[in-house]
Amino acid sequence: MEQQMRSSGNSPKGGWLSTLIDLVLSYYARIISQPFQSGLVWFLGGLGGALFVGWILFPMALYSEQTQPINFSHAIHTMPDIGLDEPTELGRCLHCHSFRNDGTFAGIPKLETCMECHDDPESPLGETAEEKKFLKQYVANEKEVPWFSYYKQPDCVYFPHIAHVKMGKIDCRTCHGDHAKTDNLPLYKKNRLTKYSINIWGKHISGYKANTWDRMKMDDCAECHTKTGHEENNACFVCHK
């Protein structure tokens, strides 16, 4: 009785508001105090399950994982004294990932480039098992290594590296991360439906992007063009072919 008196609100200010708040609170209090009868448990369980499937299981099923044929160490090859004999850091990148004379980018080097140093299948330059495997399987047979390309763009995309590296003066690591310091190659994950690498499509299913190299979609190109004041390069036929 007392409670009813109070909630019916004889005070002139905010009477209806406190009634409404009381009503809502008592509604939720009933749901929480009787989780099974009110269906709260089933709802939360279903929501959690759906999120688990959608955000964890589905992405795991969507991407196939493959390891690179040889676990190449960029760190050893770019070390100043041991690795490639080039004065600058960019030069060490471009020694293998080179530009052709017509300005096109060669991308992943061919065996020929590796064999500039690793020319003798009998005498390895290092001591790792990976190098021995490389010499035995590929150099000895003169067979190209079937590398997986993390950043292969779809057919409709035209990306000139030279415009960005030479003319735009953008460092390799700005877009690709500090690969020169890594000892292991990351897993190659391919979307089973679209056949595109996870590095193109984005590492996070929510679309969250922490680094440039997490995702390389059209919006990411446009974002950088806009930020750096090259909005004229957001025209369709600049990146599409």
Rule CB under 8 A: which residues touch another protein?
A: 99-104, 154-156, 158, 160, 162-163, 166-167, 232, 235-238, 240-241
- Please give the angle made by the CA atoms of 187, 162 and 241, to the nearest 5 degrees: 80
Instruction: Give me the least distance between CB of 240 and another protein, in Å please.
Output: 5
Task: State the number of CA atoms in the 13 A half-sphere of 57 facing the CB.
Answer: 7
- Residues in the chain, total: 241
Nearer to another protein, 77 or 166 (CB): 166
Instruction: Give me the least distance between CB of 189 and another protein, in Å please.
Output: 22
Round to whole Å and give the CA distance between 88 and 56. 42
Instruction: Give me the least distance between CB of 101 and another protein, in Å please.
Output: 6
Nearer to another protein, 108 or 115 (CB): 108
Nearer to another protein, 102 or 127 (CB): 102
List all residues 6 or more positions away from 144 whose beta carbon is below 8 Å from its beta carbon. 110, 111, 138
Structure tokens given for 21: 């708040």
Instruction: Give me the least distance between CB of 241 and another protein, in Å please.
Output: 5
Query: 149 and 197 in contact (C-beta within 8 Å)?
Result: yes
Nearer to another protein, 8 or 194 (CB): 194
